[in-house]
Each structure stands twice: as structure tokens, then as C-alpha cells.
Amino acid sequence: MKWEIDESRPIHAQLVEDMIRRIVAGEYRPGERIASVRDLAFEAKVNPNTMQKALAELESRGILITQRTSGRFVTEDHEKIVQLKQSLSQELLANFVADMRNLGYTKEAILGAVEQALKKSQI
Amino acid sequence: MIECANLGKFYNGVVALEGVNLTIGRGKIIGLLGENGSGKTTLIKLINGLLSPSTGSVAIDGKAPGVESKKIISYLPENAFLDSDMRVREAVGYYADFFADFDREKAGRVLREMEIDPKKKIKNLSKGMKEKLSLTLVISRNAGCYILDEPIAGVDPAARDRILDTILNNFNENATVLVSTHLIADIERILDEVVFIHHGKIVLHEDADALRTRRGKSIDAIFREDFR
């Protein structure tokens, strides 16, 4: 996955969001060791101090765990990951519903449109 | 690391820099951002001891610029500084002789990354290649502080990316990097702190993300809004 960064928002906050998306999407598995600050910073083309700040925030939220000698790992707390996934999807849904309402869609029309879209993507 | 107190420089009564109070800490990448003629190069030359202050003072690790500070600071000047009759390999040797902290192995690696042929004469390199070579030499010192004056001006976007990658990949974590540019959009992602300089005065010095949060815009957009 490529790191998408929008320079008009604080970069460390976007790195936090991006890491959470990666964990939720299973790109980083529970208990998996993540790359070093330096390598991640290089990958995202950001300052290592900014990446360090983002990882520290994920740590303080219990999403990443540091083991003194062996590096940083994704939490093995599945419930926590499920919660993250739920809150991400709720955010997406709330934005989607608000946007559709702004377009003038009713509840039924939104449901219909979602069903159509699901058919199209063949899920 | 670097401390400027009421630093100023006048040329025949014309103000180039005035009342600069600036403290730059260790382990950070700081962008010195201003348009051409705003005083960036004057400030950098004062820090490097190439100009003497008209007012105030500058100190590097508590000492005035001089022999000791040149051992600590690896400086990339704005304009070409290499003898164009030299070959790339000779330029590396010259740097290695001159600076005790020069890391030949690192220089060899970065040259390969930059795809610069060590056998080539410097005068036969393109402008972008010359910039890359200069940066390679400067970054291959294991210095406490790197001062880069317009490292990405006048090179194409691909070379810019390569240069930024090289800066990110090669500066050591305890080192300070002060990088001046007017090309803010290209560089803002790698900055910890930004310093805006305008008409010879420092008008802002702030953490990059704090500034984005405060103004809700990119550093580039904020700069344009404030000064153009």
C-alpha cells in the first residue's frame, strides 16, 4: 500500500490513520513486527521524527506494543482491532450517508443505491 | 546547536538581515523558507563564518564560527564549489583528505544510488548530476550539522526526489539539518520545523505539523498566502 499524504493536514495524524488502516486491513497482522522508524519514514518519505511521533501515539493507544530489545509489534488484542475496524467503518458510513442525503437521497433510495452498487461489484 | 542573537548584516547601509534571534536544536530537519533575496543565503553564510555579522552574534555549540565549527558543520553552498577539471573520483578523494569525518564507504554507496560515474569529469556532468555529486560529498561526512543552501533548485523533479531520499536516508539521527529553499511544496514533508524569512527578518519559527494544524493548510499554501 502506498502512503497517501495530504500536506494540508498534520502529517503525524495521517501516519497514525494510515497505520490503523493497514492493521485493520490485515496488511500488518496481530503480533507482527513492524519495520523500523527509519525504514517506515523512508517508505512514506517523511521525517523520521514525525514517524516516531506517530508510532508513539499508536503505542500510547495500545495499538502497537514495544518490546525493549526486539522492536515494535502490532497488538495481539483482537478485540481492539475489531473495535478499530468498527469505528473506521462507522466513520465511512456516516460520511457516505451525509453525502447521499446532501444529494437529496431518501433512506429507501440510499438502500437501493447501495444494493445496486454491491451487485455491480459482485460481492 | 545553532544560536543566533540579534544577528544582522548590512551591506553599505542596505539591510540584508536584521534582528535574527533563532535557536536550532539537535536531531531535527529545519526548513529555512523564503523567496530569492529574502536573506536565506546571508544567514547561512553568517552561520558558516563566511560573512561577519554587522550586529549581534552567532554560536555553534556555544562557539563563534571558525575552525572548530567547520569540523562540525557540513555545508552545501548555493553555487558550485568543485573544480570542474577534476574527475568525480578525485573530488571524493579531495573531500576525504580535507574532512576527518568523511565516510568513503558511504560516499561510494550514495554515488551508486545517484548513478554517478566516478570516472567522469565534473565539467561533463549535467547540472542535476553536479548537484547530486555536491550533495553526495556533503552528506557523506558524519557531521553534527548539515547546512544545505537550495539543494533542489534548478534540478528536475526526479532528481529532486532522489536528493530528498538521500537526505532522509543518510543524515544521522542526532544531526541537525538546516535546508534553505523557495521550493516549499517539494520539501515540506521532510521538515520538523519551519522558519519563514522575509525581507531579512525571521517572521515565523514553528513546528511544521503545529503550523498545519493552526492554519489548516499546507506550509506551501500558508507561505503563499502570507507573502505573495
Residue B153: per-residue pLDDT: 84
Facing residue for B189 by CB, picked from A5, A13, A49: A5
Q: How many helices (H) and strands (E) does chain B have?
A: 9, 9
Check B173 against A50: CB less than 8 A apart: no
Query: Residues in chain A, how many?
Result: 123
Residue A121: per-residue pLDDT: 84
ipTM attached to this prediction: 0.80
Chain B nearest CA to A116, separation (Å): 37
Classify B102 as helix, strand or coil.
strand
The closest alpha carbon to B160, from B138, B127, B194, belongs to B127
The closest alpha carbon to B150, from B32, B11, B13, belongs to B32
Facing residue for B213 by CB, picked from A7, A10, A42: A10
Could you tell me which chain A residue has the CA closest to the CA of B177? A47
Extract the C-alpha cell encoding A43.
Answer: 517508505
Count of pairs with CB atoms under 8 A, one residue in A, one in B: 51
The closest alpha carbon to B72, from B62, B85, B81, B80, belongs to B62
N-to-C CA span, chain B = 32
The closest alpha carbon to B22, from B188, B177, B207, B195, belongs to B195
CA distances from B97 to B48, B79, B131, B217 (A): 20, 22, 21, 46
Q: Which residues contact B212 (CB under 8 A, 6 or more apart)?
A: A7, A8, A9, A10, A11, B218, B219
Render pLDDT for A74-89 as a digit per residue (tens, 0 to 9). Answer: 999 999 999 999 999 9
Could you tell me which chain A residue has the CA closest to the CA of B166? A42
Facing residue for A7 by CB, picked from B165, B168, B218: B218
CA distances from B99 to A74, B16, B81, B90, B149 (A): 43, 31, 15, 14, 19
Plot region of B130 (φ>0 → left; ψ -120 to 50 → alpha; else → beta): alpha
Extract the C-alpha cell encoding B45.
Answer: 553564510
> What's the whole-model pTM score?
0.86
Render pLDDT for A9-49 as a digit per residue (tens, 0 to 9). Answer: 999 999 999 999 999 999 999 999 999 998 999 899 999 99
Residue A1: per-residue pLDDT: 67
Q: Is the pLDDT of residue A122 over 80?
A: no
CA distances from A41 to A30, B51, B74, B224 (A): 21, 36, 23, 27
> Nearest 5°: phi and psi at A87?
-70, -35
Classify A26 as helix, strand or coil.
coil
Taking the C-alpha atoms of B188, A60, A80 and A99 in order, what is their torsion angle to the nearest 10 degrees? -40
Residue B178: per-residue pLDDT: 96
The closest alpha carbon to B227, from B191, B163, B182, belongs to B182
Residues B116 and B163: beta-carbon distance below 8 Å = no
Tell me what percent of the residues of chain A surpass a pLDDT of 90: 82
CA distance B129 to B158: 12
B73-76/B55-60 β-pairing: unpaired
Q: SS3 sequence, A85-118? A: HHHHHHHHHHHHHHHHHHCCCCHHHHHHHHHHHH
Residue B171: per-residue pLDDT: 75
Query: Residues in chain B, how many?
Result: 228
In sequence order, which ranges of B88-207 are alpha helices (DSSP H)?
88-98, 104-114, 127-139, 157-170, 184-187
Q: Is the pLDDT of residue A123 over 60?
A: no
Residue B210: per-residue pLDDT: 96
* Low-confidence spans in chain B with pLDDT less than 50: none
Residue B127: per-residue pLDDT: 84
